[in-house]
Structure 1
Amino acid sequence: MTTAAIRPRRSVLYMPGVNQRAMEKAKGLDSDAVVLDLEDAVVPAKKEEALNLVCDQVRAGGYGYREMVIRVNAVGTPWHDNDIAAAVKAGPDAILVPKVEDAAMALGCVDRIHCAGGGPDLWVMIETPEGVANVDAIAAVSGVKVLVMGTSDLVKELRVAAVPDRLPLLYALSRTIIAARRYGLDVLDGVSLDLEDQVAFEASCRQGRELGFDGKTLIHPTQVEPANRVFGPAGNDVEQARRVLEAWQAAESDGRGVAVLDGKMIENLHADQARRVVAFADALASRTNPT
């Protein structure tokens, strides 16, 4: 595994597309990705203004290593087609489409991006019962690169309680993670709305990490550091991973199928896990800030 195979997405920060000051501020934040939002953060009367601001912001650049994403309005809204066409021309790394509910909808988005000139990857949001039910087929669509949980909408659609342990959402979260892993996609956890309780936010990050998410979508700059810390290598993880690889390589050189390190057996699967940790750390180390 090489660093080219990994793009860190520990922290993915939404910024309102109608607020140029906020979009500029994102250039100085250590988020792995920035999503300039044309959907929920923008009232209908401001949609056209926001689209122009967002596209100008992306074209101007200055975000350095940060992955740039434009969230367009949903399929079937009056703004969707124009959003896609304008976003493709602006040249972000990816376009995020909300409320994707089946493979045909995802494929239609891929086709619209291609017809507009191509370039950006497609990220899709899973935030309705239909989206969860069809998530495996959505993940299988060629051109879909990242699945993003829309947990706030999902809570509303499922008529469940927004409780800290997220027990009512665990099935939807796990089903989406399994689909992502089956098709080699990254998958991002939904936002946390409580901006005052940092302890609860970190607990939500830890739960997401333990479930298998690659990172978390965020709504405030104060959430960036905890997300980076929880979803990134912790403590001596990288050093330990390098030791595992050294022990495994020594075992392979001796013709052995297993190794022992600190009294614990190491097999090929442990070596694969260690390679990913090292590659992730290398990908982080190789990034540069804008000049």
Structure 2
Amino acid sequence: MSGAEGKSDIDLFAVRSLLFLPASNPRAIEKARGLDADLVVLDLEDAVKPADKSAARSAAVEAVASEWRQPVAIRVNGAGTEWHSLDLDAVAGSAASAFVIPRASSAHLVREAREAAGKPALAMIETAAGVLAAAGIAPETAGLIAGTNDLRADLRLPLAATREPISASLQMIVLAARAAGVPVFDGVFNGLSDAEGFEAECQDGRNLGFDGKSLIHPSQIDPCNRIFGPSETEIERARKLIGAFDGGAERFEDEMIERMHVEAARRVLERAKS
């Protein structure tokens, strides 16, 4: 984590699934404790009504104080809102593993929030300004999250638009994260009953270079973990490739391989181990 205060006690590169749920919903919180999401994010922002912000903040702090099977983060309200500084103070005094900054638009604002919270920050890139500033934002964070719904709205795309109009933005977010050496996560898929569409978008996200994906329903966890985790075939091939490498460019299974391919294979095995 470059430049960030404190060090994350979780390996965010091992995270495949990030389940967002309202901090104002105690039943959802209790259910999430037994789920296989790699990271749970208790939301104080979009999922919580203004009248419920204070109660949700207290509930989030109380929830992260107890034991979970996975790390838990808190998404705060954005800079410029009346709840932002209160949320950061609450995060600072909580047992949260990290916190999420919505609508990140500048490195300066992310740095201020991180220093106030004193915990690793995940920044959501969900505006045109955020995409253009992502290269500067990423080094201030423990990871980036593509906020695809807000990004579509900010770009004024039709509701029926595919992911194609935001593909350049998604690639810029991935590039910024990779240049800074931090993990990067794809945005949510809204079609809760479209299992086939969800899996296709997971595969698309993995092909773009994302490490995992934000989720809005427990039913999305298992397919997300499966697609963003290496398959047995990938693991076995990685082992064979590493074993066959002799130090220079050479042939392996009808392909030419060199050191970069070995490094990629080692990442596969490390992710499988995680």
Taking structure 2 as the reference length, what is the TM-score of the superposition? 0.93
CA displacement, residues 19-76 of structure 1 (integer Å, 9 cap, x when unaligned): 1111111111111110000001110111111111111000012x22x22110011111
**1:234-273 equivalent positions in 2, closer than 5 A:** 234-248=231-245, 251-252=246-247, 257-273=248-264
> 2:25 corresponds to which residue?
19
Supply the distance in 1 between the matched residues of 2:192 and 2:104 (Cα, whole angstroms): 27
> Is structure 2 residue 53 aligned with structure 1 residue 52?
no
Report the 3-state secondary structure (helix = DSSP H, G, I; strand = E; otherwise coil) of the residue aligned with 1:206. Answer: helix
**1:98-109 equivalent positions in 2, closer than 5 A:** 98-109=102-113
> 1:133 corresponds to which residue?
132
Supply the distance in 1 between the matched residues of 2:173 and 2:242 (Cα, whole angstroms): 31
Supply the distance in 1 between the matched residues of 2:156 and 2:216 (Cα, whole angstroms): 23
Supply the distance in 2 between the matched residues of 1:162 and 1:232 (Cα, whole angstroms): 30
CA displacement, residues 159-180 of structure 1 (integer Å, 9 cap, x when unaligned): 0134464011111101111001
> Is structure 2 residue 16 aligned with structure 1 residue 10?
yes
Relative distance call for 1:101 and 1:200 in structure 2 (3 A) is same
> 1:112 corresponds to which residue?
116
> 1:88 corresponds to which residue?
92
> 1:209 corresponds to which residue?
206
> 1:195 corresponds to which residue?
192
Q: Any conservation in 2 of the 1:6–1:280 contact (CA below 8 Å)?
A: no
CA displacement, residues 163-201 of structure 1 (integer Å, 9 cap, x when unaligned): 464011111101111001101011111101110111111
Amino acid at match of 1:238: I
Q: 2:39 aligns with which of 29, 33, 41?
A: 33
For residue 264 of structure 1, report the CA deviation from its aligned partner: 2.7
**1:170-189 equivalent positions in 2, closer than 5 A:** 170-189=167-186
Unaligned regions of 5+ residues in structure 2, if any?
Answer: 1-9
Supply the distance in 1 between the matched residues of 2:169 and 2:79 (Cα, whole angstroms): 22
Amino acid at match of 2:269: V
Relative distance call for 1:163 and 1:215 in structure 2 (3 A) is farther
Supply the distance in 2 between the matched residues of 1:158 and 1:199 (Cα, whole angstroms): 26
For residue 266 of structure 1, report the CA deviation from its aligned partner: 2.2
Amino acid at match of 1:41: A
> Is structure 2 residue 59 aligned with structure 1 residue 74?
no
Report the 3-state secondary structure (helix = DSSP H, G, I; strand = E; otherwise coil) of the residue aligned with 1:60. Answer: coil
Q: Any conservation in 1 of the 2:12–2:183 contact (CA below 8 Å)?
A: no
> 1:281 corresponds to which residue?
272
Supply the distance in 2 between the matched residues of 1:156 and 1:37 (Cα, whole angstroms): 20
For residue 265 of structure 1, report the CA deviation from its aligned partner: 2.6
Q: Any conservation in 2 of the 1:99–1:131 contact (CA below 8 Å)?
A: yes
Unaligned regions of 5+ residues in structure 1, if any?
Answer: 284-291
> 2:156 corresponds to which residue?
159
Report the 3-state secondary structure (helix = DSSP H, G, I; strand = E; otherwise coil) of the residue aligned with 2:27. Answer: helix
Relative distance call for 1:5 and 1:228 in structure 2 (3 A) is closer
Supply the distance in 1 between the matched residues of 2:110 and 2:73 (Cα, whole angstroms): 17
Q: Any conservation in 1 of the 2:13–2:183 contact (CA below 8 Å)?
A: no
Report the 3-state secondary structure (helix = DSSP H, G, I; strand = E; otherwise coil) of the residue aligned with 2:181. Answer: coil
For residue 111 of structure 1, report the CA deviation from its aligned partner: 2.0
Q: RMSD over aligned Cα, in angstroms? A: 1.5
**1:224-239 equivalent positions in 2, closer than 5 A:** 224-239=221-236
Relative distance call for 1:5 and 1:226 in structure 2 (3 A) is closer
> 2:6 corresponds to which residue?
none
Report the 3-state secondary structure (helix = DSSP H, G, I; strand = E; otherwise coil) of the residue aligned with 1:185. Answer: coil
Taking structure 1 as the reference length, what is the TM-score of the superposition? 0.87
Q: Percent identity?
A: 40
Relative distance call for 1:155 and 1:169 in structure 2 (3 A) is same
The count of residues paired between Structure 1 and Structure 2 equals 265
Q: 1:148 aligns with which of 145, 149, 171?
A: 145
